[in-house]
Chains A and B, each alone.
Chain A
Amino acid sequence: DGGITQSPKYLFRKEGQNVTLSCEQNLNHDAMYWYRQDPGQGLRLIYYSQIVNDFQKGDIAEGYSVSREKKESFPLTVTSAQKNPTAFYLCASRPNLAKNIQYFGAGTRLSVL
């Protein structure tokens, strides 16, 4: 079953804690993206990666970190420096730089305890 898998579906963070959201794709896509979605709002880009071992900051990267050690995996860490982490986090992938369609996972909802 091909696609983009995000886990967990729901995640709770305690104050001062770092948490990591998983994103895995078996589509052999080159590029991967992380977005944040707040209630009633659009998608804002956090980080993106066009190839393995390379990534760029998006519009709201502060308080977040990523890695891209494998083509199929692009985990997002929400650090304690992110003071307002409660949101719906979406991961997406794109086949290659020539084909600019993005496909999304089902999302992870992060809440603060």
Chain B
Amino acid sequence: GENVEQHPSTLSVQEGDSAVIKCTYSDSASNYFPWYKQELGKGPQLIIDIRSNVGEKKDQRIAVTLNKTAKHFSLHITETQPEDSAVYFCSMDSSYKLIFGSGTRLLVRP
């Protein structure tokens, strides 16, 4: 069935370093891949998304890359700050639903 695998499950970086989160998926028909950030006790918020007709998208310190042939996509955060600490979820669109990865807990150490 449709599945998204996300790695790593936890990630600890020093403030100012970069963080990379990777996801692989099984449904080759998917054309939309959003990333969400969830802070403690809150609902997930969309931070960036990418569609299958592009390979990379950037928004300030955040970038997402997509390799449709290899069926994987990644989130890159540069110059990390303590407020980037949260749980990040990758997801993919599948038949009007979103399939989510299991999440990555990012800790940015001051």
Contact = CB atoms under 8 A, between A and B. Distances in A.
Given A41-B103, A101-B49, A106 B43 contact: yes
Interface string B72-100: 00000000000000000100010011101
A109 B29 CA distance: 34
A50 B96 contact: yes
B9 to A, nearest CB: 8
A8 interface: no
A90 B102 contact: no
The number of chain A residues touching the other chain, given as a range, is 20 to 34
A62 to B, nearest CB: 17
A interface: dominant SS: strand
Task: Say which size band chain B's interface belongs to.
Answer: 20 to 34
A4 B46 CA distance: 14
A58 B97 contact: yes
Given A42-B89, A43-B89, A104 B102 contact: no
Given A48-B97, A102-B98, 8 more contacts: A42-B89, A42-B101, A43-B44, A90-B43, A94-B96, A101-B34, A103-B46, A107-B41
14 contacts: A6-B43, A33-B97, A41-B102, A42-B100, A42-B102, A48-B97, A90-B43, A92-B43, A94-B96, A100-B93, A102-B34, A102-B46, A104-B44, A106-B43
